[in-house]
Chains A and B, each alone.
Chain A
Amino acid sequence: MSLLEVEGLDKHFGGLYAVRDVSFSVAKGEIVGILGPNGAGKTTLYNLLTGFIAADRGRITFDGRDLRGLLPHRIARLGISRTFQLCRPFVGMTVLENVIVGALGTAGKNRAGLDSRARALLTSVGLAGKEQLAVDVLSYGDQRRLEIARALAAQPSLLLLDEPFAGLGSSEIADLATLIRRVHAEQGLTVMLIEHKLREFMRLVQRVIVLDFGEVIAHGTPDEVVRHPKVIEAYVGRGNEGFVERNDAA
C-alpha cells in the first residue's frame, strides 16, 4: 500500500518551473532516492511535500490524507519529518535539548518520558555522552547525526533526508548510511533521500526517482536508472555516454 502519493505536482517561480507535473508514489517501508543535477527541483519537491511552499497544481496524499493547504507543523504532526540541506541545530542549546524540541511538537500531552526517549535516540545515533554539550562544538558529522536524531524524535512514518552526506568524509558517510539502514530496518520507517554522493546512495536506496528541470525523467531501481539514456544525458550531456560507462557513475 502506498504511503505517499504525488499526482501532477506543479510549482513555478515566475516563468521557471521548479517542479513540473511530477507524479510518483512511495510504498510503506521503502527507501527511495531522489536524484538530479543541481537546480533540478529536489529541495523544492521536499518543500512542497512538507508544506513549506504551496503547490500551484496537483495533489499530495499522505497516509490517505490530502495535504493541500496544510501548514508545515500540521504535516509534521501527521508523520512527515525532514532534515535540511544545511545543518540547522538550535544554537545556544544543548544536544539533548535539541532532540527534546524535535519531540515536543508531536508528543502532544504525553510528555512524561521525553527526556529518556531523547537520550535513547542520541545513543542510537552514536551521540551517547554528548547530551550536555552545546551544539556549536559538535563536529559536522555529529551535527548530521543530531539532525537525524531530532527528525526521528518526532516519531515520523516518513523521513525526508536532504543531502545527509554533504560535507562528510567517506568513513562518516558509511557510518551514517548504516544508521539510516538500521532505523529503516528496526522501525519500519519509510525513507526518502536526496543525495549527490552516488556510491553510498545507490547501495542504500531501493528505488530512484530522477528529476531534471523539475520533471521526472527516469524512475526505477538504481541499476536501471544509471543506464537510462535520459539520466546520462542530464548529467553529462548528449554524446558523452562512453565517458559514463567507463567511469561507472554508480
Chain B
Amino acid sequence: MVGKKLNLAGATVFVAFMALLPLVFDSRYLIGVLTVSAIYGIWAVSWDFMSGLTGRENFGHSLFIGVGAYTAGFLNTLLGVSGWWSLPAAMVVAVLFALLIGLPTLRLRGPYFALAMLSGAVIMQRLMLIFWEHTGGEEGIHGIEPLIRSQLVFYYFVLGTLVAVTALLLALARSHWGLVLRAIRGDEATCQAAGLNVTFYKIASLLISAACAGAGGAIYAHYQLQVSPQLFAVVTSITIITMVYVGGMASIYGPVGGAILLVLLTELLRNFGEWRLMIYSCALILILFFLPNGLIAPTWQRIRARLGRRR
C-alpha cells in the first residue's frame, strides 16, 4: 500500500521534526511550549478516539485530566509515591470516574452523557474548593517532584508518550473496533440489529479515552510541579474540542497537529497582549467556517494524494 508507506513516512518526518526542534534552538522556553503542546496532543487524541469516532460529545474531558493530575499530586506530595507509580494510578482513577459517568449515561440516547461529563467536571472543580483543607483550594497542590530532572529528556518522554498513544488509538480506530465506533455514530439501532452491543463499545472506548487523558493529566502535574482546580475548568475541555475540530474530527492523528498548532498560536500571540484572544478566536472561526473538516487531516490527505500520484 502506497498510502500506508506515505503515512508512515509523514509520521516519521513529523516526529523527527518535533524531536530535533529543541536541539536546533536551544531554549528552555521552546522546550516548555513543545512539552505543553505534546500534552495537549495526548488529551486531544484521547478525546477524538471516543467522541470523534462515536459522535458522543464529551464536554468534560477536563474531569479525567483533573482527577489524573490530582491523583498524581496527592500520591506524590502526601505519600511520597514516585511519579512512575502515580502515572498508572492516575489512569486507574480516571477510568473509575469514566465508569461512574459512562455506565448510567452511555446506555441512553440523547444529551445525558455530554451533560453528565460537563457537570462532573464542574462539580469536581467545586469540590476542590469546598474541601480546601485537603486539596489546597484555589492554590492547589504544590511541590510535586519532577518525573525526570532534565527538561529535554522529559520532553522526549512526553513526545514518546504522545506517539505511543496516537499509534495505539490509530491502530484501534483502523481496526474492526473503529469501524464499529464509526457505525455507532451513524446509527445505533442498526448496530444493535446487527448483534453489536453498542453500550459495551461506547463504555469501553470511554475507558480507553479516560485512561489516556488521566495519564496526560499526571504528566502535566509532574511538568507544572503543581495542580490547581483550574485544570477541571470547562475552558480546558472546550480548548481540547477546538483542537480536535481544527485537526480533523475522527482522524485521530489530526488532533495532534491541531493541539500543537493552537498551543503555538497562543504563544505567538502573547506579544499582542489584549488583542490575543480576539485574533485567536477570529482565526478559529475562520478555520471552522471555511474548513468544516478541519485543517490538519484534510491537508495531509491532499499532500499524500499528490505524493502518491508522483510515483
Which of A72, A92, A100 has the most chain B CB atoms inside 10 A of its CB? A72
CB <8 Å contact, B194 and A105: yes
With A81-B193, A111-B176 as known contacts, state yes or no: A73 contacts B182, CB within 8 Å. Answer: no
CA distance A93 to B187 in the complex (A): 12
CA distance A102 to B182 in the complex (A): 13
CA distance A87 to B84 in the complex (A): 51
CA distance A192 to B183 in the complex (A): 26
CB <8 Å contact, B186 and A105: no
Q: Residues 122-146 of chain B: 1 if any A CB is under 8 Å from the residue's CB, otherwise 0? A: 0000000000000000000000000
Q: Residues 176-220 of chain B: 1 if any A CB is under 8 Å from the residue's CB, otherwise 0? A: 100110110111011111111110000000000000000000000
Contacts of A114 in B (CB 8 A): 176
Contacts of A77 in B (CB 8 A): 195
Query: Is A207's beta carbon under 8 Å from chain B?
Result: no
The interface residues of chain A, by DSSP majority, are classed as helix
CA distance A105 to B186 in the complex (A): 16
Query: Is A89's beta carbon under 8 Å from chain B?
Result: yes
CB <8 Å contact, A72 and B183: no
CB <8 Å contact, B176 and A73: no
The residues in A between 88 and 116 inclusive whose CB is less than 8 angstroms from any CB of B are 88-93, 97-98, 100-106, 111, 114
With A90-B183, A101-B183 as known contacts, state yes or no: A76 contacts B176, CB within 8 Å. Answer: no
Closest to A100 in B: B179
The residues in A between 167 and 182 inclusive whose CB is less than 8 angstroms from any CB of B are none
Q: How far is the CB of A163 from chain B (nearest CB, A)?
A: 15
CA distance A150 to B192 in the complex (A): 12
Complex partner residue of A104 from B180, B185, B187, CB under 8 angstroms: B180
Q: How many A-B residue pairs have CB under 8 A?
A: 82
Query: Is A52's beta carbon under 8 Å from chain B?
Result: yes
Complex partner residue of A97 from B179, B192, B194, CB under 8 angstroms: B179
CA distance A100 to B196 in the complex (A): 12
CA distance A153 to B192 in the complex (A): 14
With A104-B176, A111-B176 as known contacts, state yes or no: A93 contacts B193, CB within 8 Å. Answer: no
Closest to B197 in A: A73
With A97-B179, A100-B179, A104-B180 as known contacts, state yes or no: A90 contacts B190, CB within 8 Å. Answer: yes
Query: Is A161's beta carbon under 8 Å from chain B?
Result: no
Contacts of B193 in A (CB 8 A): 50, 72, 76, 81-82, 84, 151
With A52-B189, A92-B185, A101-B191 as known contacts, state yes or no: A73 contacts B196, CB within 8 Å. Answer: yes
CB <8 Å contact, B179 and A154: no
The residues in A between 37 and 76 inclusive whose CB is less than 8 angstroms from any CB of B are 50, 52, 71-73, 76
Q: How far is the CB of A231 from chain B (nearest CB, A)?
A: 30
With A93-B179, A93-B182, A93-B183 as known contacts, state yes or no: A101 contacts B196, CB within 8 Å. Answer: yes
With A73-B198, A101-B180, A104-B176 as known contacts, state yes or no: A90 contacts B186, CB within 8 Å. Answer: yes
Closest to B184 in A: A90
Contacts of A90 in B (CB 8 A): 182-183, 185-187, 190
Closest to A150 in B: B194
CB <8 Å contact, A88 and B189: yes
Q: How far is the CB of B292 from chain A (nearest CB, A)?
A: 13
CB <8 Å contact, A101 and B179: yes
Sample (8) of A-B pairs whose CB atoms are under 8 Å apart: A76-B192, A90-B183, A92-B182, A104-B176, A106-B194, A114-B176, A150-B194, A153-B194
Which of B's residues lie within 8 Å of A, judged by CB?
Answer: 176, 179-180, 182-183, 185-187, 189-198
Instruction: Give 17 A-B pairs besides A71-B192, A73-B194, A105-B194 with Cβ atoms closer than 8 angstroms.
Output: A52-B192, A72-B189, A73-B191, A88-B186, A89-B187, A90-B187, A92-B182, A98-B183, A101-B191, A101-B194, A104-B195, A104-B196, A105-B195, A105-B197, A151-B193, A153-B194, A154-B195
Closest 6 CB pairs of A and B: A105-B195, A90-B186, A76-B195, A72-B192, A105-B196, A101-B183
